[in-house]
Amino acid sequence: MALFLSLLLIFMFPSCNADNPPSPGYYPSSTIGSIGFNQGFRNLWGPEHQNVDQGSLKIWLDTSSGSGFKSLNSYQSGYFGTAVKLQSGYTAGVITSFYLSNNEEYPGYHDEIDIEFLGTTPDKPYVLQTNVFIRGSGDGNIIGREMRFHLWFDPTQDFHNYAILWNPSEIIFFVDDVPIRRYPRKSDATFPLRPMWVYGSIWDASSWATEGGMYKADYRYQPFIGRYSNFKLGGCTSDGPSSCNPPSGSPSGSSGLSQQQYTAMEWVQRNYKTETPNCNYFKFVDEDDEDVTSTIRSNTRASNGVTVEDFNELRRRLYDVENEHDDYGRRLRMVENILKAMVYLIMVFMNGIWELGMFEMFEMNGTGFEMFEMNVGDVSEHCPVRLYDQNKDHVYSIPAE
């Protein structure tokens, strides 16, 4: 009887980690012709760490340098893909990437759409990190959306195709033509609209890449190699005709995905999406002596409809703590503004923008209130929103440890 029930459960609830995703039914890469590296790209840095052979590219990282490449043209929209084969063994701390960016055009205020392979230790799989990153690091209004995945295959054994589709209405990430993530345009403030170039690189990101920086790049295993082939650049260049039609990721030619594609994407997200361990630390700093008077640790995940104005309002409320030099008055203002922020977030929740998770106040001691933590529930597929302010006499943030 027990055996019968076990078999019944297996048939009723099959393993969630099946070998392969359902067929998406549509293969956008087949609509874009392949090109060799030199037809669409050039070296950007580390030329001595690049090798082109019959249109394919090998780049590597060692103690002297990594390497990067860049497209010959900038694009307003398009389908951008490449096949990548990753190095096996110990690759912790090393990032191999393929992405869109306008960092050189807008330094400190740039947009970016990333596919990043986070290096790992031999006993654990690679992490594929996707990110949509808007308006750079210099203006106090970074908006970043990360989502991480494991893969249903070993990316070190063979080449697999990875692609970014970017048009005015959406961004879709593909692995072997299977959509793994769709990022729709909800507002101009949370969607990249300026022209971008296509890049690839390999570099040392030991401070955060592998389990939050727990494992660093170990150059006893150098060189770390990334291999690229089957490049695809199909889209509208920034200096092209206005009549250029941006590509679509669905068979209908419209925005969105077909039902079959959504089914495949849901399978990937259900079975291979991983948590994105990313918190922001907001510190209140005294203007004179830079003593840290309070830290807010927030784990926020954006929902559809969140705007920059919402975050600016929250930040403005938090700024009220500054410039209170009287110890008692400063701490009293701090508690007051914390309560204001709480009320604000509750109001936001009531408006359906965020799902309020939990507020926890702690470390009350003889000198007064020192710290509080707020967690806002994950109400969408997008990952933590980042707010940065580089002015150290105000509020600034530190990436998660």
One domain, residues 117 and 259: yes
Neighbouring-strand partners of residue 274: 148
Pick the last residue of a domain from 274, 309, 324. 274
In a domain, residue 12? The reply is: no
List C-alpha distances in Å: 366 to 221, 363, 369. Answer: 52, 10, 9
One domain, residues 285 and 263: no
pLDDT band at 189 (very low <50, low <70, confident <90, very high): confident
Tens digit of pLDDT for each residue in 281-328?
A: 333 333 333 333 333 333 333 333 334 454 455 545 444 434 444 455
One domain, residues 130 and 190: yes
Predicted structure pTM score: 0.68
One domain, residues 190 and 328: no
Check pLDDT > 90 for residue 361: no
One domain, residues 269 and 286: no
Here the tokens at position 207 are 């401070």
By residue range, what is the domain housing residue 259? Answer: 28-274
Tens digit of pLDDT for each residue in 237-257?
A: 999 998 899 889 999 988 899
Q: Is 116 a catalytic residue?
A: yes
Q: How far apart are CA 5 and CA 232, in angstroms?
A: 50
One domain, residues 126 and 183: yes
One domain, residues 368 and 385: yes
C-beta of residue 150 within 8 angstroms of C-beta of residue 275: no
Pick the last residue of a domain from 215, 240, 274. 274
In a domain, residue 81? The reply is: yes
pLDDT band at 337 (very low <50, low <70, confident <90, very high): confident
Check pLDDT > 50 for residue 110: yes
Here the tokens at position 252 are 């209908």
Structural domain count, the chain: 2
pLDDT band at 329 (very low <50, low <70, confident <90, very high): low
In a domain, residue 20? The reply is: no
> Which one of the listed residues 105, 116, 373, 401 is annotated catalytic?
116
Q: How far apart are CA 255 and CA 274, in angstroms?
A: 26
Q: Is 266 a catalytic residue?
A: no
In a domain, residue 243? The reply is: yes
One domain, residues 329 and 260: no
Tens digit of pLDDT for each residue in 14-34?
A: 334 458 999 999 999 999 999
In a domain, residue 262? The reply is: yes
pLDDT of residue 276: 66
In a domain, residue 383? The reply is: yes
Check pLDDT > 80 for residue 1: no
Pick the last residue of a domain from 221, 251, 274. 274
> Which one of the listed residues 48, 104, 105, 112 is annotated catalytic?
112
In a domain, residue 338? The reply is: yes
